Amino acid sequence: MIKLLIIILFFSSSILSREVGQTEITTDEGIEVFQKEKYYLLKKNVSIISDNFELKADLVKAYFDKDLYDISKIESAINVILKSSKGILAKGDKINFSTKDENISIKGNSSSLTYGNIFMFSQDLVKVNNLNGNFIIEGNEAELKTDSIHIFGSLIKGNFVTINNVKEVEKLYVEDDKQANIKTENINMFAKIAKYNKKDNIIELFENVEVIRDNEIITGDYANIDTLNQSYKVKSNNSDKKVKVLIRQTNE
């Protein structure tokens, strides 16, 4: 009798529980299916678990192509957390992502995305394409952090590549109305615009440039920093505005 009860309990619990290849969605306040418009709304305490990702939110709009199972795009809002099987952790007020071209867009206060050793943060928008590695971080307090570099600005865009399972920034463009900030282990850099290319290992700084290394502070209009040997050149655009070097005294 007990064995029979266990068997019944086992089968009744496995009838509608997720197996490999399936997506399980649970909600507290139901679902609204709009067949003509090809989307459905999931309400309150929504959880989506699939082989590729896990999503938690309070409101989810899922667009489908052929039928309900064929989800093409997800728009989610209110306390959203997205985890992908590839190691992405995204948090924000609103997260939209397309399952087919792997575009992730995080909007709102404290939008963040962690992907391996890369951390992105903004008070407005973080956008990543997981297939080609392109990203945009936009708005107040936009921030990008890797093992070797820490960047602040109002617009940070570029792309990352995976080398030996480690994510590395390949190209980078940073700008800020006042001064963007790039910190490496040895150099602290400020400028209105900064560009980086991994191929050349060069960081270029434009306008309102300030380079700080140890006790040196160098200001100018343009700087070219070699990230391999940590050497740099600073220039001024016109003769009136000269490159300045300040050396701070330390009490050793």
Partner 1 sequence: MNHLLQLNKSLVLIFLVFLTIISLIFFFLKNEILLKSEIEFDTISNNSFDILNPKFTINNENEIITIQAKNGNFLNQNNVVLENDVVFKSDKFKIYSSKVLFDKKNQTAYSKNDSTFVSEGTTIKSKGFEIIDKGNTIQFYGKTKIILLE
Which residue ranges make up the site for partner 1 (CB under 8 A)? Answer: 16, 18, 21-36, 50-51, 66-71
Residue 137 CB burial class (10 angstroms; 0-12, 13-18, ≥19): buried
First to last CA, the chain: 83
Task: Choose between 35 and 110: whose C-beta lies nearer to partner 1.
Answer: 35
Indicate the Cα dihedral angle 86, 171, 182, 245, nearest 10°: 160
Shortest Cβ 5–partner 1 spacing (Å): 22
What letter would DSSP give residue 148? S
The encoded tokens of residue 1 equal 């009798």
Task: Choose between 28 and 226: whose C-beta lies nearer to partner 1.
Answer: 28
Shortest Cβ 51–partner 1 spacing (Å): 7
Shortest Cβ 167–partner 1 spacing (Å): 27
Task: Choose between 24 and 226: whose C-beta lies nearer to partner 1.
Answer: 24
Q: How far apart are CA 191 and CA 153, in angstroms?
A: 10
Q: How far apart are CA 232 and CA 171, in angstroms?
A: 19
Shortest Cβ 71–partner 1 spacing (Å): 7
The encoded tokens of residue 183 equal 């910190």
Task: Choose between 66 and 199: whose C-beta lies nearer to partner 1.
Answer: 66
Shortest Cβ 17–partner 1 spacing (Å): 8
Task: Choose between 51 and 147: whose C-beta lies nearer to partner 1.
Answer: 51
